[in-house]
Amino acid sequence: MAQSLNTKVELSTTGVYYVGIGGNKVGKFLVGDKALEFYPDNNVEKYVQIPWNQIQQIGANVSGKSVSRHFHIFISDNRKLMFASKDSGKILKIARDKIGNDKVVKMPTLLQKFGRLFAKKS
């Protein structure tokens, strides 16, 4: 049975966890005082719980003042998890309070990545 790490939930919203090719899971985020948690709708026993102290970095693409729906979480065992939510900005604001401002970053957009690839080297 799924047991939450959180004692207090600050945000509950829907979203997607990108597991791999064809393995995307739709479910619920519970963002609380101890962890960021994701529970898939089709089987809550396949949950993902990420304690705040295991997150090395969290980031999303930012364009102007809008935050992308997609965000990446880099955790302590050198893994990168990718999620999407309509409330990604709210999730990132809570994460900023929990893990610190320096660990919440702007990820480069696809155009920025290609721009660096083809930039002239001096």
Residue 42 sits in a domain of what CATH number? 2.30.29.30
- Residue 31 CB: number of other CB atoms within 10 A? 24
Alpha carbons within 13 angstroms on the beta-carbon side of residue 98 total 24
53 located within any domain: yes
The pLDDT, as a whole number, for residue 62 is 80
Residue 4 domain-assigned (yes or no)? no
Instruction: Specify the number of domains making up the chain.
Output: 1
For residue 73, how far is the Cα from the chain centroid?
5
Give the DSSP per-residue string, 47-112.
-EEEEGGGEEEEEEEEETTEEEEEEEEEETTTEEEEEE-TTHHHHHHHHHHHH-GGGEEEEPPHHH
What pLDDT, on the 0 to 100 scale, is given for residue 119?
65
Q: Is residue 122 in a domain?
A: no
pLDDT tens-digit series, residues 82-116: 999 999 999 999 999 999 999 998 887 666 666 66
Mention every residue, 6+ apart, whose C-beta is less than 8 A from residue 89: 67
Output the pLDDT for position 51: 95
pLDDT value of residue 34? 96
Question: What confidence category does residue 117 fall into, taking pLDDT thresholds of 50, 70 and 90?
Answer: low
Domain that holds residue 64: 9-117
| pLDDT digits 0-9 by tens, 3-33 | 999 999 999 999 999 987 777 899 999 999 9
pLDDT value of position 42: 92
Tell me: the pLDDT tens digits for 41-84? 999 999 999 999 999 999 988 877 777 888 888 998 888 999 99
Query: Model's pTM, two decimal places?
Result: 0.83
Establish if 82 belongs to a structural domain. yes
Question: How much is the pLDDT for 29?
Answer: 96
